[in-house]
Amino acid sequence: MGVVASVAELGVALRKARKHLGLTQAELALAAGVGVRFLVELEHGKPSVRLALVLRVIDALGGELDLSGLPGEDSGHG
């Protein structure tokens, strides 16, 4: 996907991935353990979604969250 700079861009990326996998919102919500309403709001870029649930959706799509470019990331833990 590349760099995601906003909640709206994240929603678009997740919707594209879901459709690419041929999943309905209800199917993905069930696989991720989230509600359909949550998934609809996430795909539409609602900024107040819960990160833990977003991570479940990403995992259910077979993806992972990869942070890069953060200060100190090359120095290991701490």
**pLDDT per residue rounded down to tens, the chain (78 residues):** 678 888 999 999 999 999 999 999 999 999 999 999 999 999 999 988 788 999 999 999 999 988 788 788 664 554
Q: Model's pTM, two decimal places?
A: 0.81
Residue with tokens 């678009």: 12
Q: Write down the pLDDT at residue 73.
A: 65
Half-sphere exposure of 5 (CA within 13 A, CB side): 0
CATH class of the structural domain 7-64: mainly alpha
The C-alpha angle 47, 32, 18, rounded to 5 degrees, equals 75
Q: What is the pLDDT of residue 3?
A: 81
Q: Which residues contact 67 (CB under 8 A, 6 or more apart)?
A: 73
Residues 6+ apart with CB under 8 A from 66: none
